[in-house]
Every structure is written in C-alpha cells, then in structure tokens.
Structure 1
C-alpha cells in the first residue's frame, strides 16, 4: 500500500463522517437523531498529530452518539451496517482497524471482508462516564473536577463536533470548558505549592556534589512551571508527550523557553539556579498581571540563611488561597487535582482509580459527590 498524503486526523474524520458515515446512517436509520464527533484519546484530538501518528490508533474514526433508547435498539445494527457498507479505504487510508499485541490498540490495515471500523456507536451518558467518571450534562461537583486529570478534560473539550442533532454535546463541552473560579484559584495555589517544596533542592543537591540530583529536581521544576503557565492561560495541561507542544502555543513560551532550555542544559547548579530564577520571576510577573490576588513581590531571594536563590513560591499559594470564596474549597488540603499529586498513568487513565485516589486524599474533610463536606 502506498502511503497516502497526510491529512490531519480531525479533518480526515470530518470528511469520513460527511462523505462515508452519514450516507450509511441516512439509508440505514432514517429519522434517528444523532450527533457525531471526534473526541477522546488520540494526538489528532489535541491537534498534535503528524504522519507518524498513523502507525496506531489513528485514521478515519469518530463517535456516533444516539439517545440511550436508540443506542440500545439500533446501535449494534448500525455498527454492523457500517462494517458492511463503509468503503475499504478513504482518501487512501484503510477504514479497517486490525488488533495488535496491545489490548485495545488497533492499526489501519487493508481487508477484503467486513470492515472492523472505529466508528463507535454509543450514547452521551455512557461515553462521558466512561471517559471522565461522570456525566457533565448534569451538575459537575468539585469532586468531579478534582478527580479528573487535565489530559482527559482536554480530550473532551478539544477535538471537533461534526453534527449535534441531539443538542447535547455542545452544552456538555461548554460546561467543561474551564474550572469554576474558586477551583481554578485552588489549583493554581496547589501548583505554586509544588514548586515551593522543591525550589531549594537544586542548590542543596549541587552543594553536596550531586549534580545529577540537582538536574533531576530542576527538570521537575521546569515541568511544574510549564503546567502552571498553562493553568494560568486557562488551558488544560496535557500529559508529558504533548506538554512541550502545548506550552509552545501560549503567549509566554517565547520568553520562557530560553531559560527553561538553559536550565535543562546546565552542567552545574549555579547555572541552573540562575536561569530558574529568571523563569520564576517571569512566571511570578504573569501571576500579577492576571490580577487574581493583590500583587506579590516577584523577586527571588535567599532561602532563609542558606546560599540558595528561590522565589518562596508558597507566598503565591497563600495569596491565592486567601481569595477563594467557598470555605469548603479553601479548607481543602493543598494537593490539588488528581494529576497534581499522582503521576501514574495506570491510575490516571482509569476514572474509577482516579476518583478513589482523590476521595482518599481529600479525607478527612473530603468533597463528596454532592459537593458537601465528607466525614472528618
């Protein structure tokens, strides 16, 4: 098979729906109201796909949403009809996805039989609950927000809706567009807290001759600053593979990238500290420009009596926490959302584990499903 010209995945899926899937639906299920979109996992959903992405889980694929009743009555039949009537290729790409050795991972492959397609026929409640652990068409509680990794929020609010006959996708995505104000302040405060806890270690590791340890700490701080900047810009930070790509798209990236790059390239802790100091002050200035709190002095300073230059980022945590109006949110421990205190893909990719971990971490004083304080 010759390699077809690369088409960005969202555009390929849009054409696939309009030119191949919709005609089958109109013939097979006339009058059934549906919505169509390409949401969820996949580099194309976030707009980061390249020709390399075509080697797995990429291609002509999308979701068809039906009402729960129609999904129960007609979903399997529609999926079978699509298998029989979809073209074998679309713009040069096979529409058949063959399984691989990895569970749930498919690759485009030519076939002479029925198409094992990736047009997922579902209903909104089942799909959103499977992706997030809750249905955003209903009330979203603080517990829902905090138990959901930003990668998953990005996957649901990015992508594209091609048709919304159910008139339910747009409101659900709008409800998830960004955190409620108090929770935003809380997450920013928690991100500053993470920085405050390690900013002195770059120098301390270096002082005892552990340049490798100093470099590891510095890299963690750069990652946390990048995530903080994305949160400040009201953008959900994606997971590590796309964090740098997403950061490059925010207005402050051009000014911060030279310092971040110099931190990572430095071979001694004094150089790391100097460039981190420049980055700290720039991000602190960004905080002040948001006017979420009274101005906080953005200058770095010595770490108590030790000869290390730090921001004392906990000052920003305190300023943000003081502006949180909801006493239940203000009383939460300074750990943040689940992906601010857990770094395990195996947990973050499973909503039931993310939600359980969040409940456990917020107890005592947990925020429950209905938004009330839990038992102490």
Structure 2
C-alpha cells in the first residue's frame, strides 16, 4: 500500500466533506417542499420523513458489520454512485409514488454517507489530542458547504425548479465519487471492532451526567427534525415565500454555525459548557415559540427570527459536544456510535410527533409546541455537574 501523508489525507477528506455538505444542503430543506408539491399532506410528508430516518437508523446499527465485511472506502464509493442514480432520477418527472420512494432513499443514503465520512476523518487523525480540533474544522467545512448550498438552491429553483435542483445534486455527487475514487482509496482502514451497546446502556444507567447529555442531544436533534420538515412547508404554503426567497432565508439562517463559533467558544470559556447549554436552550425555546406569533410575510422578519433560533441551536450543539467528549475518550467507540445514532432516532420520532400534534393544533402552533419541549433541555442542563 502507498504511504499516505496524514495531513494531506485530512485535506482531501475536508474537500470531500465540502462537496458532500453541498449536495446534502441543496436537498435537505427542500425535500419536504418537493413532497408537498406532489400533493402529499403535511401529515403524510411527516410520515415519509419519519419512516426514512427509521430505516437509516436500522442501517446505522449495521455499519460495524458492513465495515468489517467491505471496508469504508468500498462502502462510501458504492453508496456515492447509488446516490448519483437516485438524485438523477429525481430530476425527471416521475410518478408521485416513485418520487416519494426516491426521496426516502436519498435521505437514508445521506445519513449513511455522513457516518462513513466521519469514520474517514477518525481514521486520518493519528492521535487523540487532535480529535477535537479536527472535528471543529470538519464542522466548519460542513456548515460552509450547507450555506453555499442554500444560496445555490434558491437560484436553481428559480431557473428550473426541482429538476435543476436534483440534477445539480447528482452532478455534485459525481464530483464526490471521483474524489473518493482517486484520493481516498488509500486512507488507512482501522480494525473495526464489534460494538457492545449493552455496555453503553450500563454506563448511561450509572452516569447521570452522561444520561443527561444524551437527552440534551436528542432534544436538539428533535428540534432539527421537526423544523426541517415543517418550516419549509409553512413558509411556502402559508407565508407565501417563493422557493428562491426560501433559499436566501435558509442560507442566512445557517450563518451562525459559520460565523459565531469562535465567539460562542469564548463565551464557553467564561461560562463553561453547563452555562452555554442553559443559555442555548433558553434562547432556542423562546425564539422557536415566538415563530408562532409572526403573522407577516416579510422575508426580513422571518430571516431574523430563524437566524435567532440557530444561535440557540449552535450554543447547544457546541456545549453538548464538548461536555460529551470531556467524558468520553476516543477508545469508547460504542458510546460515540450510540451518540451518532441519536440523529436518525430523533429524526424518526420528530416528524411522527409533528403528525400527532397536527391532529390537535394548526401548523403555525407547532413552533410554540417545539419551544415548550425545548424548555425540558433547560431543566436538564441545570442538573449537569459543572466541570468548568
């Protein structure tokens, strides 16, 4: 096998992550709107998303077995090629049933590929001391790609609707597949051990702080899952924003993840992770609930309001990640895998929760409901042991 420079390998992984995040961001906030345009009700859209993420959760628990059998490179490349085919088919006007199945497959493949990309990064970091820094850079590239995607999505939707959007997704994934084939072939494949999730449950049972950290992460992902499905539908169907305007709104909405990480990091140095989590959940709860009170169709007001919710989300994400990795070292693969699995778990439950709520409340009130749920995070964060 060829000798590979680790630093050079990481740069190639960052480039791969940018293109992955670009294609992911192009479709992420518009899949729900696309399904709605096919004639699916808000409840049916929620069910499609919930089932898709439930399927991705099952696949995620199969990752250790698949890695031992095929290796990360082969899985990532073959899944990328499959994603090209799925995205290209979505660019054509197919039957509603076929389109729904393709969107579900696209969601599952994206969750799977993101997990494999994260494993590429861990394989390229040769010391536990560099994990935090590398994950920070990895997340910065991720958010940068998604912001660019939102700006591009608005233009693509104006030019050619969903045909151009999904066609561009396919084109970006082709680039990702080429990068994988030529630059990630020689990334070191570690020994993939069988994960013992029973030990994770035992640790959560005996560690109150770890149990609460998992709860907080689940709540954050629950927020993302409900907002990702119902915010685009509400802005398009009820507020009356065009698809192009929505792209601009979502790009600015995500800006805190790219612009405010250093500032919030300094705030974390002063207040500690517990303080950041408490303030983060308070901001998240208040700003999300306030969305239910907005009756205007002003793009400026909606942009500012959604931007504010992501400041709270960023504080929660940063505070919880740091707190988690202060309790877990790199050898605790089962804990890290279980922590990752909270994403598809929450995204499977969140849309179903939204469907249930919509039987009792109108769509605009779902934001107030999510805000109230986020207050549980504030209560839980207060019970954490302050390790600042």
Common topology (TM > 0.5): no
Larger relative contact order (Cα-Cα within 8 Å, sequence gap ≥ 6): 2
TM-score by length of 2: 0.26
Higher strand fraction (1 or 2):
1
Higher helix fraction (1 or 2):
2
User: Larger C-alpha radius of gyration, 1 or 2?
Assistant: 1
TM-score by length of 1: 0.26
